[in-house]
């Protein structure tokens, strides 16, 4: 899963990104090593892994990971090519979801590009650039398809769809709110890969004082919440500066530091959870002596496709899956004990994998 961090200059994107990468770089094994300076890998905290690894005496624990991309340089006029604008927009096209950082902190030392703190205006500025870019894509499609549409009913239907979608965006709406009428429209919509069709998490960047009550007394945060509620998006409150400080602590210090601030978890953990739920993701687990590992899948994924996450051969040659809930497994103390109690299910290709399933795939090579 790949998340892109966007927002106006000076709202705290790099600060957040640096704290994410710092935390990521220090945590356990992940299957990537060299990373682009604008791409950071963050592991998904998952207590279940360590418990299973203890039981199996696993040599290695590999958590699920999320990739973050720092998409700096999105400014007013980006869609018209200002400040390398189009290049940044192309980067956004590749992500699964967007983290939109919004400045909700006052600080006279940090200049705001538009002279004042105003979350709604800032969100509109960024979203408009994304909308302009999407409209351009739709216009190109319309130009390409219109000629053939005279003799092709399907193409004519698509042109009509394109025009309605374009009109919707021209009213300042995000594509994600557009109601799709049938399967054709769903397929076309997915194919266009519009920027404003991507799910968004709004990260309200507040000062340290606003953290304890989750920004409840901060009117800027309220403005972000109002906006997000209208668009069915999630909001989470962070203080990027504090995240950066937290990322430099070791685990024990981190716990104490958070307790002092009256917090249960770091903003980073909140962000990861929010993105998991936003994208409808869950983790299933594999466990053994060599490695205990979490794998990210979409909710509703069936066993063969889940197996394909590990290796395409697993999907192609899928025979069945042996499945046990991780808690049942821990309670029994061993795989064989769980099996004796009848808690290990033999599942076929229609089985929908659940969060916390410990799975052993059987397959033909
Ligand atoms: P970017 O341009 O969006 O990447 O913004 P930066 O992360 O570079 O932050 C711009 C400036 O704002 C830097 O001087 C940061 O130290 C400062 N900054 C970032 N987050 C916070 C915050 O939560 N509170 C305060 N007071 N300053 C912040």
Number of H helices, E strands in the chain: 14, 12
Domains of the chain: 2-45+64-115+198-278 (3.40.50.300), 131-196 (1.10.150), 300-363 (3.10.20.30)
**Are the C-beta atoms of residues 340 and 350 closer than 8 Å to each other?**
no
CA–centroid distance, 71 to ligand 1, in Å, is 15
CA–centroid distance, 335 to ligand 1, in Å, is 50
Q: Containing H/E element for 66? A: strand 65-70
Structure-block tokens of residue 253: 């210090």
The CA distance from 10 to 72, in Å, is 10
**Most ligand 1 atoms within 8 A of CB, residue of 15, 71, 105 to mutate:** 15
The sign of the torsion formed by the CA atoms of 324, 330, 332, 333 equals positive
How many CB atoms are located within 10 Å of the residue 197 CB?
17
**Per-residue pLDDT for the chain (365 aa), expressed as one digit of tens each?**
889 999 998 899 888 888 887 765 544 444 443 445 678 888 888 889 999 999 999 999 999 888 888 887 677 776 676 655 566 778 888 898 999 999 999 888 888 878 888 999 999 999 998 999 999 999 999 999 998 888 899 999 999 999 999 999 999 999 999 999 999 999 999 999 999 999 999 999 999 888 888 889 999 999 999 999 988 888 989 999 998 888 888 878 988 988 888 888 888 788 888 888 888 899 999 999 999 999 999 999 999 999 999 999 999 999 999 999 999 999 999 999 999 999 999 999 999 999 999 999 999 87
Note the pTM of the prediction, 2 decimals. 0.83
312 among annotated binding-site residues: no
């Amino acid at each position: 899963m790949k998340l892109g961090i966007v927002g106006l200059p000076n709202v705290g994107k790099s600060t957040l990104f640096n704290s994410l990468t710092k935390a990521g770089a220090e945590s356990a094994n992940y299957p990537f090593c060299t990373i682009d300076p604008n791409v950071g890998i963050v592991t998904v905290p998952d207590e279940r892994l360590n418990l299973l690894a203890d039981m199996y005496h696993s040599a290695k624990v590999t958590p699920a990971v999320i990739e973050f991309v720092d998409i700096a340089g999105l400014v007013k006029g980006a869609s018209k090519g200002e400040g390398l604008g189009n290049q940044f927009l192309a980067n956004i096209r590749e992500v699964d979801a967007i983290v939109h950082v919004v400045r909700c902190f006052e600080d006279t030392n940090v200049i705001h590009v538009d002279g004042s703190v105003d979350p709604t205006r800032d969100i509109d500025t960024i979203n408009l650039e994304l909308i302009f870019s999407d409209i351009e894509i739709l216009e190109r499609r319309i130009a390409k398809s219109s000629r053939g549409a005279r003799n092709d009913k399907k193409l004519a239907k698509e042109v009509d769809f394109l025009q309605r979608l374009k009109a919707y965006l021209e009213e300042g709406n995000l594509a994600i709110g557009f109601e799709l009428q049938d399967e054709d429209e769903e397929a076309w919509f997915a194919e266009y890969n519009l920027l404003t069709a991507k799910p968004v998490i709004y990260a309200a960047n507040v000062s340290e004082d606003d953290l304890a009550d989750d920004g409840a007394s901060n009117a800027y945060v309220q403005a972000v919440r109002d906006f997000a509620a209208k668009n069915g998006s999630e909001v989470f409150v962070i203080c990027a500066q504090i995240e950066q400080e937290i990322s430099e602590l070791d685990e024990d210090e981190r716990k104490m530091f958070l307790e002092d601030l009256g917090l249960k978890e770091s903003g980073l953990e909140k962000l990861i959870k929010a993105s998991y739920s936003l994208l409808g993701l869950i983790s299933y687990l594999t466990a053994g002596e060599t490695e205990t590992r979490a794998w990210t899948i979409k909710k509703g994924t069936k066993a063969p496709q889940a197996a394909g996450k590990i290796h395409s051969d697993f999907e192609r040659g899928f025979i069945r899956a042996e499945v046990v809930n991780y808690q049942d497994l821990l309670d029994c103390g061993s795989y064989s004990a769980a099996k004796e109690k009848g808690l290990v299910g033999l599942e076929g290709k229609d089985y929908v994998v659940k969060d916390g399933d410990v799975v052993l795939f059987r397959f033909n090579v």
